[in-house]
Structure 1
Amino acid sequence: MAFTDRSLPAREAILGAARTRFATDGYDRATVRAIAADAGVDPSMVMRYFGSKRQLFARTAEFDLRLPDLTEVPPEQAGRVLAAHLLDRWDGDEALQILLRTAATDDDAADRMRAIFAGQLAPQIATLTGDPDGAATRAGLVATQALGTALCRYVLRLPPVVAMTRDEIVTWIAPTLQRYLTGPP
């Protein structure tokens, strides 16, 4: 659907309100009416511009992990570089937090999360290790650590994990990521 330049401010207000509402309430509890009210528009505009709540969520959750090229760092540093990068991404990207909250209860969001790790991380691991057959397994294991850390820090807000500095978390999880990236099975 083509939009006029006049619709851009309304669409951006809806997207901003949706990001905030999904992050605060989660996918299931967020309503189109509440998002529209937060954006200062009629609910019909949300449907007109985005089609459905699910499509609106998908637009708010579009992102790229922007992974560093792990083949350009010393192989023994890949876990540390990846841990630091992923933590920075979680800290700086509200869409990742929205997707994490929603993936626990929504199959489409869970599919999206799986696709992100498989599609963006597995190819790098295949290049890094020279083992394309094992890359998906390694990417899945990296995801367990990354998503577990993010869940505990940003969703469950476990006090010891929330209290840790970025560098402390990196120090703790980097060896595990290193083993998943380059260690023996």
Structure 2
Amino acid sequence: MNLIQNLVSRIKPVVSSNSTSVLLSKYLNPFQCLTSLRHLNTLWHMHSNTLYITGVRPQKKSKIDEQPHIKGIVLKTLIKKPRKPNSANRKCVRVRLANGVEVIAHVPGEGHNLQEHHSVLVKGGRTKDLPGVHHKVIRGKLDCAHVVKRQTTPSQTAPPPT
């Protein structure tokens, strides 16, 4: 407190050139800016009367360390529900990557053979309708099998083949 009083007492009085009033800085309360915030009654008042230091937001760092692909071990297989308006269940796996980070990766295609302790190759790229899923498993590499050709069924509306 003595340090603040010492600094305030060293400030010279401010004299306005076009008026005869003299404002002595020793009459100013050094904590006026802190006490005035207490009397603001809305968030807008607090927002408009306070000073904010604007800075650059830190960029989000990739979990795979800017590598195109990274190897990982499957910890658990998951079924996640997409956000609206989609309704199909999406097959995902929880993977511990080679750099020690655990991520959730989407397994594209129909069906998969992944179980716990399988090795998979993971690439970046989010699945739009799955919140929190920002990686994909590469099919046909390591322990993840290729997509088996989808069985086609006859059309319900087409005439039967002759």
TM-score by length of 2: 0.20
Higher strand share: 2
TM-score by length of 1: 0.18
Higher helix share: 1
Give the structure with higher Rg (CA). 2
Structure number with higher relative contact order (C-alpha < 8 Å, ≥ 6 residues apart): 1
